[in-house]
Amino acid sequence: MKTISAFALAPLAVALLTTADRAAAADASAPPLVPFASLPVAVVAPPPAKTPWGVGAGERVPGLFVRKDDNSPTAMVSGSRLLLDQNSGKGFRRVLEEPETDTTRDFCMSEGERSFGEPTPPPTWGHTANPMLGLFGRDGREHVVAVHMEHVVDETPSSAALEIVDAWVDVSTRGARLIRRSKVPLARVATAPGDIHVYAARDEKEVHFVIVEPRRTVRSWSGIFQVGAEMSQSGCRHARSSLPIERGGAEATTFIVNTEVVTNDAPVIPGGGALGADMKAESVRSRPLRVHASVSWAGADAAPVLAVSMGWEARDRTSTAFRPVKAPTTKR
Amino acid sequence: MRTKLGIAFMICTVCASGCAGGQAPSVAASSPPAAPSGGAPTCAPLAKSSVVPLGTPRAGSTIVLARAGQRRIAFVADEDARAVTAIDVDEKKELATTPLDGAPSQIMMTADGRLLALLRDRGSLLALVPSGDGALAAQCSVQTASEPVALAAAPDDRTVVVTSGWGRALGAYDAGTLVRRYEVPLGREPRAVVVSDDGTTAFVTHAVGSRMSAVTLGDAPHTVKVIAMRGADPSIMRNMREQRALLGKQSTPPEFREQLEKMEKRAFRSGCQGFALAKSVAPAGRVLAPQVLVDPGDPEGRPEGYGDDHTETEVSSIPVVDERSQAAFDSSLATVRTEILGKREARDHRADCLLPRAAAVDPRTHALFVGCFGIDAIVAYDAASASPATSERRRWIVGAGPTGIAVDPERPQLFVWSQFDRSMSIVPLGDPELREKDAPAQHLEKVAIVGKGQKLPTEIALGRMIFHSAGDTRIASDGRACASCHPDGRDDSLTWATPEGPRRSIFLAGRVAATPPYAWNGSSKTLHEHIGKTFDRLNGSGLRSLELDALVAYITSLAPPPSTGAASDRAIVQRGASLFASKETGCAGCHVPGAGFTDGLPHDVTSKVNADRTARFDTPSLHLVGGTGPYFHDGRYADLGALLRGVDGTMGHTSHLTPTDLAALEAYLRTL
């Protein structure tokens, strides 16, 4: 592929930052076109073709937590120990009291998937991503499942990175064996109201678009929907869509995400009753935002054309969210 | 100032379709007193003009921008008033109105400073010379194929191309002398046209027929490549693509391919409402074609209304056509499913642009602006996207019936001509809708055209707005408008699944008033009754009587398409007429000449299919039958030839006719 030479170009993250900032200031809905060559080069590797027979019970991958589900023959997997606690009915109060410290949605998990065809296509990572995976035990070698975990790190105004851990998880032993650990550099290509950022990176075959929500201060989040080439829902703080690069071809994806603004005009909720005296109401104004990204390569284009734009998906709504008020610490 | 052209242009003889060169333009019989070209009333480029085009759009519109010294002028083609009005866009005041001999469909500034105008009902291309005060003087005109609707210039500014709707043709003219070089026949209802960056190809939309035509320009032969404008769910498109690739590799029986084609036909939505086009600038080499994708339902089923009960019947779509490959990106034809977000409620979601009628690109913000009838809005999309329809950035409400958009190349604003309320909207750009703080918004301004020239009667003007009212739940719960199935008051060329069985949409313009009863089974004696039933099937709540009266008045006032001119061979047509009237063929027994070519009665012509509830169908009028295919209540015959051969013994007799006689009969039908 002739375009490979373009990948040798160094990422122009600083230039991208300047451009993206200027765009956000001028008109967030119309960020300037991002040159393909300016994106950092990154590879999101697919699952290995060959699955191991088993993973020992004592094998562990740091940062990846595997726990038996209490009520089913299922292994629960997440990068957040707290989330696994919550799955067991613990650890909710802390998140309610300090939602800004909630990292349970930071890790995005997906499972390796095989498809059928002639010749057999290589396995891929599933499109639906959630902070926690439930792996079901199956017969034979299928009790070993490829698990992909990624989370956004190193967030700066211009860039970020996607930290990726791929591992084999044995549902029967709940052991985990590292496949690979990698870090994908991302350049910010657009910013939407509500501190929603869009990042991108490229490799030889795909452009990876990553949309990242801010940490919520209230628990009214409803997820990121992705429609277009694939349809999925992400329960994580970020969602990634990888669009193929093909001369003469094109692909597009649309994320739909809620922007939220906490206002101070919430009605006063009387204390006591079912809510308890320590619950505080907050009025949250939210509006679904449509973030659209695409890659296309027409005959007249020297390189693939990236496009990122955004607009409102629907009208805004106001809802009331509740959070416990922390009792002041008193010294005795 | 008001300049009256008051002249009948002497149009030279019609050149038969396909002829090349030689048709000289006529000279205005009564030239204006001060023709800027030095007094010689010839059709030639201007050596010098005080008015120059603002920007280089090279595409016709109902609004174009020009500069005359310090003054910036918008010329608007006012179809109702049959005039071109000049407006000072900075002073926001009307400068001059120039009445024309016909209704202008589009205008365009040439590089040398002339204003070209198409007169839709006259079938002519007119060159006008503007002066600095906005007045226009006639220079010359040339005849086009019937019903010229759009024009564009080649990048070298030497050739002008004109599409003709009812005449089904693309004509190429010398931009300086307006001499016609050649004419290329096209499919049904061509509309907008643009020329590729390299000048080799004209891309033409069609209001119906799921197609775009790519016509090679320059030297003959002038081939026409049909680009499919059909779309489907992305997963279905991918699956079909894979199956096609698989069939391409293997030697498969023909029935497999037929089965796949049948599946595709059912799974893919049909493209419709191709009225507008725009070329992207950066990236270049792309043609953006706003339309809608229609699911008319399974013709073998009987839904509760018109089309499938469980899908959105119409969704907006903006195919992106690669100029080089002359194919549309699959992603731009994919319909995006949003049902995961819950049921689409009108209150929660913005109404789709279901009647796109104008388009323009702003290279500064790589925005595609689409003017939408019905919702009377300009919607901004990402022109660089691989799927612009899903990339809406924002929208502005403008005057009713936006038919033209001009991007100001010098300031961040748009000018929009709205025909229905005859106003020009000035839309400020650079005012982001996606703002977090409550910054003061820039306001849209309107310049209403003062009542010069003839206007539509109030009742008909109201009826026209209702006819095009998309997103009006009184008409259809899913936002369809009357114009959705009857673009330009004609038909969408589709067969819809209905509670009665499959039904072809009917061509309305010019043939409704005199042909009761209505509906394919003739169940409605009046139009009021039939429209009421139609709203009911569309799950609309219905109109008030005053509005229904206005709608009926508009529908019955719709003019038939202009004549295509004299038939090429009168003897053949006369032979066809005698065959039509003969007892042997039996055509005139039901299609009664002098009575709108119908007897107003239902007949069983053994055309019932499984989904039909009855076997008897009202005799349709044959008026304009040559331009209204496919034929029969279920659209089973693609063209008149197939119909004449297929109905023998069930609806008249044709097996005894020679191929020459069949051709004569068809030629006669085309004259009706």
| Mean pLDDT computed over B329-348 | 65
Reported as a single tens digit per residue, the pLDDT across B570-623 is 888 888 888 888 888 888 888 888 888 888 888 888 888 898 888 888 888 888
At residue A9 the predicted structure's pLDDT band, cuts being 50, 70 and 90, is very low
Residue B73 pLDDT greater than 50, yes or no: yes
- The pLDDT, as a whole number, for residue A222 is 56
Say yes or no for a CB contact (<8 Å) between A254 and B336.
yes
Integer Cα distance of B480 and B473 in angstroms:
9
Integer Cα distance of B330 and B224 in angstroms:
21
- The pLDDT, as a whole number, for residue B36 is 39
B366/A contact by beta carbon, under 8 A: yes
| Contact (CB, 8 A) for B380 and B299 | no
- The pLDDT, as a whole number, for residue B362 is 92
- The pLDDT, as a whole number, for residue B33 is 33
List CB contacts (< 8 A) between A296 and chain B.
Answer: 283, 320, 329, 331, 384-386
At residue A261 the predicted structure's pLDDT band, cuts being 50, 70 and 90, is low
- The pLDDT, as a whole number, for residue A263 is 58
Measured between CB atoms, which of A289, A294, A299 is closest to B331?
A: A294
Q: Quick check: bond before A52 cis, omega within 30?
A: no
| Mean pLDDT computed over A113-122 | 75
Reported as a single tens digit per residue, the pLDDT across B341-351 is 444 554 566 78
At residue A21 the predicted structure's pLDDT band, cuts being 50, 70 and 90, is very low
Minimum Cα–Cα distance from A316: chain B residue: B348
Q: Write the DSSP symbol of residue B88.
A: E
* Strand partners for B395: B379
List CB contacts (< 8 A) between A194 and chain B.
Answer: 436
Chain A closest-CA separation from residue B248 CA (Å): 15
At residue A91 the predicted structure's pLDDT band, cuts being 50, 70 and 90, is low
Chain B closest-CA separation from residue A313 CA (Å): 7
| Contact (CB, 8 A) for B118 and B127 | no
Measured between CB atoms, which of B390, B433, B436 is closest to A292?
A: B390
- The pLDDT, as a whole number, for residue B568 is 66
At residue A227 the predicted structure's pLDDT band, cuts being 50, 70 and 90, is low
| Mean pLDDT computed over B521-536 | 90
At residue B273 the predicted structure's pLDDT band, cuts being 50, 70 and 90, is very high
Measured between CB atoms, which of B365, B386, B392 is closest to A294?
A: B386
Integer Cα distance of B617 and B519 in angstroms:
9
Measured between CB atoms, which of B320, B340, B391 is closest to A292?
A: B391
CA angle B672, B122, B505 (to 5 degrees): 45
Contacts of A200 (CB under 8 A, 6+ apart): A34, A39, A186, A187, A189, A207, A208, A209, A210, A293, A306, A308
Burial of B170 by CB count in 10 Å (0-12 exposed, 13-18 middle, 19+ buried)?
buried
- The pLDDT, as a whole number, for residue A70 is 67
Measured between CB atoms, which of A33, A289, A300 is closest to B323?
A: A300
Measured between CB atoms, which of A27, A230, A296 is closest to B386?
A: A296
- The pLDDT, as a whole number, for residue B589 is 84
How far is residue A329 CA from its own chain's centroid? Answer: 36
Say yes or no for a CB contact (<8 Å) between A28 and B349.
no
- The pLDDT, as a whole number, for residue A99 is 60
Average per-residue pLDDT for chain B: 85
B40/A contact by beta carbon, under 8 A: no
A45 phi and psi, to 5 degrees?
A: -75, 145
- The pLDDT, as a whole number, for residue B40 is 41
Reported as a single tens digit per residue, the pLDDT across B118-141 is 999 999 999 999 999 999 999 999
Say yes or no for a CB contact (<8 Å) between A299 and B285.
yes
Say yes or no for a CB contact (<8 Å) between B432 and A305.
no
Integer Cα distance of B116 and B183 in angstroms:
18
Say yes or no for a CB contact (<8 Å) between A292 and B322.
no
A157/B contact by beta carbon, under 8 A: no
- The pLDDT, as a whole number, for residue B553 is 95
Q: Write the DSSP symbol of residue B341.
A: G
Q: Nearest-CA neighbor of B137 among B81, B103, B98, B79? A: B98
Greater model confidence, A142 or B335: B335
Residue B459 pLDDT greater than 80, yes or no: yes
Residue A279 pLDDT greater than 80, yes or no: no
Say yes or no for a CB contact (<8 Å) between A299 and B325.
yes
Minimum Cα–Cα distance from A195: chain B residue: B436
Residue B214 pLDDT greater than 70, yes or no: yes
List CB contacts (< 8 A) between B436 and chain A.
Answer: 193-194, 261
Q: What percent of chain B has pLDDT over 70?
A: 88
Measured between CB atoms, which of B331, B334, B430 is closest to A27?
A: B430
Residue A304 pLDDT greater than 50, yes or no: yes
- The pLDDT, as a whole number, for residue B462 is 94
| Mean pLDDT computed over B409-431 | 90
> Which residue of A232, A305, A309 is the best one to mutate when testing the B interface, meaning the one whose CB has the most B CBs within 10 A?
A309
Q: What percent of chain A has pLDDT over 90?
A: 30
List CB contacts (< 8 A) between B384 and chain A.
Answer: 33, 294, 296, 305-307
B387/A contact by beta carbon, under 8 A: yes
At residue B112 the predicted structure's pLDDT band, cuts being 50, 70 and 90, is very high
Measured between CB atoms, which of A229, A307, A311 is closest to B234?
A: A229
Say yes or no for a CB contact (<8 Å) between B434 and A233.
no
Say yes or no for a CB contact (<8 Å) between B331 and A231.
no
- The pLDDT, as a whole number, for residue A96 is 61
At residue B309 the predicted structure's pLDDT band, cuts being 50, 70 and 90, is confident
| Secondary structure E strands in B323-464 | 327-328, 356-362, 367-372, 377-382, 394-397, 402-407, 413-418, 423-428, 445-448
- The pLDDT, as a whole number, for residue B258 is 81
Residue B8 pLDDT greater than 60, yes or no: no
B337/A contact by beta carbon, under 8 A: yes
Residue A18 pLDDT greater than 50, yes or no: no
Say yes or no for a CB contact (<8 Å) between B325 and A231.
no
Residue A266 pLDDT greater than 80, yes or no: no
At residue B281 the predicted structure's pLDDT band, cuts being 50, 70 and 90, is confident
Token pair in block for residue A31: 């960020």
Greater model confidence, A329 or B453: B453
- The pLDDT, as a whole number, for residue B431 is 64
Say yes or no for a CB contact (<8 Å) between B391 and A311.
yes
Integer Cα distance of B60 and B72 in angstroms:
18
> Which residue of A29, A206, A246, A257 is the best one to mutate when testing the B interface, meaning the one whose CB has the most B CBs within 10 A?
A29
Integer Cα distance of A292 and B318 in angstroms:
15
Pairing state between β B20-23 and B180-185: antiparallel
At residue B432 the predicted structure's pLDDT band, cuts being 50, 70 and 90, is low
Measured between CB atoms, which of A261, A299, A311 is closest to B434?
A: A311
| Mean pLDDT computed over A154-171 | 92
Integer Cα distance of B665 and B640 in angstroms:
10
| Mean pLDDT computed over B170-185 | 95
Residue A42 pLDDT greater than 80, yes or no: yes
Reported as a single tens digit per residue, the pLDDT across B626-655 is 888 899 888 888 888 888 888 887 888 888
At residue B5 the predicted structure's pLDDT band, cuts being 50, 70 and 90, is very low
| Mean pLDDT computed over A282-288 | 75
B214/A contact by beta carbon, under 8 A: no
Minimum Cα–Cα distance from A256: chain B residue: B341
| Contact (CB, 8 A) for B123 and B146 | yes
B491/A contact by beta carbon, under 8 A: no
A26/B contact by beta carbon, under 8 A: yes
| Mean pLDDT computed over A63-72 | 81
Measured between CB atoms, which of B197, B331, B367 is closest to A251?
A: B331
| Contact (CB, 8 A) for B589 and B477 | no
> Which residue of B237, B391, B413, B436 is the best one to mutate when testing the A interface, meaning the one whose CB has the most A CBs within 10 A?
B391
List CB contacts (< 8 A) between B347 and chain A.
Answer: 315
Greater model confidence, B113 or A127: B113
